[in-house]
Amino acid sequence: MSDKAIRVFFAVALVAAIVATAAWYQGQMALRELRMRVVVDQLQPIAVLLEENREIVKELQAEPFTEKDSGILESYLMKIRRDGVPKNARFKQRLDQLAENNTAIVTLIKAYSPQAKTATLSAEADKFQHYAIAWRDRWNSVMELFMAGGNYPAAEVPFPKELPSAVEAEIDAGEARLLDNFSKDHLHSSELRSCISGNVP
């Protein structure tokens, strides 16, 4: 085989190797971007639902829903005893929405938790799951208490107030990592393109 043929052979092999490596980098970039996007997309709905819950609670803690010196569920129980269930249909609708949102948040938290990057989010998410279970049990017992003439126990599991900020911080961290990975892979791709265009005989 002549020297020219050998040079052509190695040039073709080098180009093939560089193209294959470039394709691998592109694939890795796409895979990492997909993974980070999934992370962000799992967290965004949690943030939206937490904000919706905050607005519902704010609404129910004001007139005409609230009763003096009583929590939301205690106020609802007092109102249906005094005014009947039909007259408090809007109140019940909002409480049902809270329960549905809590269930959705717990489902999303369980899906995301194995990927959590911060201890704060993990701790607050665990607190929320306990809160949601306790709140659901209290809400589900309302008609039993209504029929039996009983009242809610004074103690209740508090809402983890740091969860919304922990979710936002995790979203910010995920987006920052996504941008960082994209920048690094874009740099690698640029170097490979430069190698292909400038270093092949």
Binned at pLDDT 50, 70 and 90, residue 21 comes out as: low
60 half-sphere exposure, CB direction, 13 A CA radius? 25
pLDDT at 193: 47
Structure tokens at 96: 């049902």
Binned at pLDDT 50, 70 and 90, residue 152 comes out as: confident
Structure tokens at 5: 């043929």
Q: What is the pLDDT of residues 68-106, one digit of tens each?
A: 888 999 999 999 999 999 999 999 999 999 999 999 999
Which residue in 196, 197, 200, 161 sits closest to 18, CA to CA?
A: 196
**Distance between CA atoms of residues 66 and 138, nearest Å:** 17
**Distance between CA atoms of residues 2 and 94, nearest Å:** 84
- Contact of 96 with 84, CB cutoff 8 Å: no
Mean pLDDT of 36-50: 81
**Which of 46-50, 127-131, 141-145, 191-195 has the least mean pLDDT?**
191-195
**Distance between CA atoms of residues 190 and 21, nearest Å:** 12
Cis peptide before 201 (omega within 30 of 0): no
Amino acid identity at 176:
A
Alpha-helical (H) ranges within the chain are 3-60, 72-83, 89-112, 119-140, 142-148, 163-198
Phi and psi (nearest 5°) for 109? Answer: -65, -45
Mean pLDDT of 162-179: 80
156 half-sphere exposure, CB direction, 13 A CA radius? 22
pTM: 0.71
Domain ranges of the chain: 40-177
Percent of the chain with pLDDT over 70: 66
- Contact of 67 with 79, CB cutoff 8 Å: yes
